[in-house]
Structure formats: C-alpha cells, structure tokens
Structure 1
C-alpha cells in the first residue's frame, strides 16, 4: 500500500466506519472556524476526561511522577488541560490534512532555523529529534512551511486507517519511513534530507537503555546515536508550541547536540532526554501524556499503571487453564 493505490479489500464492511465517519469528520471539522473548533475541541476533551478512565489514569500517573513539586490540585488541573488539548488536537489534525497549504503561513513563527540550514550545508542530512505533542500531524505541516521534512512513524494496526493516514500525510512529508525500515531512514540521511524522529516513547530495552526522563528511569531508544554513527549526520532538536488557545504556533530548533554520540550509551540517552524535557516544560500540557512512558521498569520494580482490561482477561484465562 506504500504506492498510494487503493486496495479493494479496504471496501470490506469492517472498514466502513472509517470511510463513513472518519473521512466526513475530517472534511467537516477542517472547514469550521477556529473559534468553533476551540469550543468543540475543549468540550470533547472534557468528555474524554470524564469517560476514558484508563487514559485519564495513565495521564494522572505520568503527571504525578514527573511533576512531584505540584500540589494535587495543580496536577489535576494539568491533566484536565491535557485532555482539553487532546480534544482540540482532533481539529488541528483535520486542519493539517484538509486546509489550504498556505493557511498557516502567517500563523507560525520559527526560532533557530539558522542552525538547521548550517547543519544541512554539511551535506550529511539532519536527524531532527522531537517529542509527541498533542497536535503531532499539524507539527509536520508547520515545519514544512520552512523546510522539507521526512518523518519516521509507527504504522497503524488497522489497514484502512494506515492507508488513509499515509495518503493524507503525502502532502506534508517526503519519505514516510516505517520505524522498522532503517534502510530507508539511512537512505534519506545520505540524500541530505531532514528526518524528523521522535524517540520519546517506551519500546522496551531491546533497542534502548534506562535513562532519566523527568527524574524517572525510562526505557530510551539508542537508535539516534547508532544512526549518527552510520552517516555522521548532525543531531538537532525541534519543539512545537501553540500559544495558549490562540491559532498561533511557535517552532524552536536547537543548535546541534555536541559531542554526540559519545562512548557511553546511557550518558547519550540521558542528554537526549534532558533536552526533550527542557523543551516539553515550555508547554507541558501540550505533550502527549497518555502514553505509558514508564511501563518498562528495572528488575523487581512494578509498572506504575493499572493493568488494561485485556491484560486482566489474559491473566484470568491463564489462571483458569492452570487450575487442577
């Protein structure tokens, strides 16, 4: 499906909800004025905060761990704002996919673009590290107002959703690189592309190490240091922020991370997380705190999150099978 052709198998009834609900929603939501999007998005976020208990608990756990200096009331207010931003991001995503390409030309500012241009002039591509913000797809559109960009992503489990997302993102990104396709990632860097890579999620220790993130040991990918060694591409960081509830956005690009990498994988991961943390703190409730960032724990330490229903069902099934 990478060539954009539409497989007829995606017309199966199991995918009808996507074609009959999601596509019309994107078209309608992207046509609404910002004031209406803002009210609806905040309302949907409040509803999700009330009803989606698992996501709320995950966000509450992350905020409690990462902002212990906040009072319980302040932490609760942060979680509510995270969900409001999440609701608003539904409309920001629709905007990224359906609004005219020049819509954001006067709505976004950038700081540090000179660092990126200087890095590109070296001719070895740029590995641009960032984080998962609530309006992540809009981030790509905002960035491409100033420079062409490729992205590394994790494919959707649903084939119809995967086809649709890839098709919609074609107007934003050059290469859309499956996170397992290291060959294409290296090729993009060798072609002197800017590759946006988000190493802020927990994929275990198979390709990572423990390093502090907001003071908590977190499984942290070591792929950025391995990629840098392959092509010696400069490593920079990028941060996106909406100015409150205004339809105004800021981009910050940092100077290259130097020296990077070193001979110490843990030290490199620690430095990488420290920069991401510093940037996230600029607008903490616009970060995607629903993710179970600390699910992988050191030996003997239990994950801080409640078990999901499917995990509880699996445990119950195993107990039933093991009964004498």
Structure 2
C-alpha cells in the first residue's frame, strides 16, 4: 500500500481531484445504501439537491488527495483570517480547534502546525489507529511532521491532550465523529438525535481552553486550499450536556457555510460501536 501512496503522492493535485471526483460519483451511482444515507442527511439539514450536488464529487476528492497530503509536497494554501487563532494562543489558556467532516480537514492540522508550532508548541491531534497494517504504516509516516503530534484514541491519548492544553498548547478534534459506546451522549444534530462525543466539551471545560472553529476549503481545479477560522463566539455552558449541544450547533452553522463540501454520506446517526 505504501508504494501506491508514494506513486500517487507525486501526482498534481488537479489530477488527484479529477480521479477522486470520478470515484465519488461511481460510489453514488453503484451504492444505493450510500446514496440513501446521503440524501436522508441532506433532507434533515433542510437543504435541496442543487445545494449539495457538488458534495458527491468532493467526497471522492477527500480520499484521492490523501497521498499528496500525507507523503507529497504540501499544496498551496491561503489563510482567510487568522486573528481568532492568534488571539486564542495569546490568551495562554490552550486552544481547542474543532472542525467537522467538511472540506479538507487533513490540511487544517498541517497548516496550523506549519504556521504556529514554532512559537506556540506542537499541535496534538487525535487519530484512530488503522486496522489494515499497510495503511497503518502510511499513517505513521504521514504524521511524522514537525510541530504535529498524533495521539491514539485511548485513555493515554486523552491524557496527552489534557496535558497539552494545560501547558498552553493546542489540540485538534473532529467533534462530529461518532465515538465508541460510553464515550458520548445522544444530542440533536440537524434536528435528529445523534450519538455525540463528549470529549470536546470535557476538554474545554476541564482546561479552560479557548475554542476555535476551523475548516479547509478545497479550491477548484487543484489550486490548493483556503483556511477559514473563527472563534466559537460564546462561552460553553458549565453543564456538560448543554455544552455538547452547543458544539453540535456550532458544527451545524459551520457546515451550512459551505454544504457542498460536507461529507453528507457519513453515517452520523449510526449506533456507537463497542468500546
């Protein structure tokens, strides 16, 4: 698998995105289950087909761009506004970066590490170890980057994240990822109950970290990425259940800013797996 990733890592981004877009539409055409889940999630968000049609191709691009992002040369990227990030770091309270399954979330971690780690310390990100040995080898290589520290979804990994935040450094999470049973709570997401991780809210409440929303917009024709950041805009409730709902609402608002790049086929409403 590593050889294939190395091969595709040398491709231009526009070619990978073209290949990925084709793959996204093939999945749409030949998987009725995927298509049904995609459309159901779109309806729950109150959106029409015309608003999200490009999301079909973007889902494929997300996978096809990974070799370039993990093992190749970093594609061009531009920051729209980094004031929310600078202010959060300057607070000295630690920074919790949250991004949904939207756009290119791999590039957000790389961009933050490249721009801010030298002054503010490494960015700690949570990842789920790959079940496939070959993919695990690729992921290990991909996450060996200056300023980026990847920790597994274990108790030890969570402790490392708490330690990073309490020392004023930053942590990155995808809070719309369905956690294992016992590590979340049922909370509304676009009007339907979804099993939602409590980790993001717990980290913020236990450490006092500043919450910043971030996402990487995928530009057309392989031109690279545009980084969007904004402060959460309000304090999280001291009540954990309420804070989890607030984070879900923040993710909803972020997704609706660019619904054509959200992964609508993600099984957001599935039952949690066993821990």
Q: Distance in 2 between matches of 1:35 and 1:248?
A: 9
User: Are 2:241 and 1:266 equivalent residues in the alignment?
Assistant: yes
Aligned partners of 2:143 and 2:149 also within 8 Å: no
Q: Distance in 1 between matches of 2:126 and 2:14?
A: 32
- Aligned position for 1:90: 63
Task: Name the SS for the 2:193 alignment partner.
Answer: strand
Aligned partners of 1:204 and 1:219 also within 8 Å: no
Q: Distance in 1 between matches of 2:69 and 2:205?
A: 34
- Aligned position for 2:41: 62
Task: Name the SS for the 1:170 alignment partner.
Answer: coil
Offset, 1:235: 1.7
- Aligned position for 1:224: 200
Using the size of structure 2 for normalisation, the TM-score is 0.84
- Aligned position for 1:319: none
Match of 1:53 among 26, 29, 32: 32
Q: RMSD of the TM alignment (CA)?
A: 2.5
Q: Which has the higher strand share?
A: 2
- Aligned position for 1:202: 178
Task: Name the SS for the 2:116 alignment partner.
Answer: coil
- Aligned position for 1:108: 78
Aligned partners of 1:175 and 1:188 also within 8 Å: no
Match of 1:143 among 107, 112, 123: 112
CA gap of 1:65–1:204, structure 2 versus 1, over 3 A, is: farther
CA gap of 1:264–1:170, structure 2 versus 1, over 3 A, is: same
Match of 1:165 among 106, 128, 139: 139
CA gap of 1:34–1:252, structure 2 versus 1, over 3 A, is: closer
**Correspondences of 1:268-307 after superposition (within 5 Å):** 268-296=243-271
Offset, 1:200: 0.4
Task: Name the SS for the 1:100 alignment partner.
Answer: coil
- Aligned position for 1:252: 228
Match of 1:118 among 78, 87, 91: 87
Q: Can you list the C-alpha shifts for 1:207-238, whole angstroms capped at 9, x where unaligned?
A: 32332212222222222232223322112211
**Which structure has the larger Rg over C-alpha atoms?**
1
> Unpaired runs of 5+ in structure 1?
1-17, 298-324
- Aligned position for 1:317: none
Aligned partners of 1:38 and 1:88 also within 8 Å: yes
Match of 2:191 among 200, 205, 215: 215
Using the size of structure 1 for normalisation, the TM-score is 0.73
Offset, 1:282: 1.8
CA gap of 1:36–1:222, structure 2 versus 1, over 3 A, is: closer
Offset, 1:39: 2.6
Q: Can you list the C-alpha shifts for 1:181-216, whole angstroms capped at 9, x where unaligned?
A: 221111221232211111102226623233221222
Offset, 1:156: 1.5
Aligned partners of 1:151 and 1:173 also within 8 Å: no
> Unpaired runs of 5+ in structure 2?
118-122
Match of 2:158 among 173, 179, 182: 182
Task: Name the SS for the 1:88 alignment partner.
Answer: helix
Aligned partners of 1:128 and 1:197 also within 8 Å: yes
Q: Distance in 2 between matches of 1:189 and 1:147?
A: 15
Q: Distance in 2 between matches of 1:205 and 1:36?
A: 39
- Aligned position for 2:120: none
Q: Distance in 2 between matches of 1:199 and 1:219?
A: 11
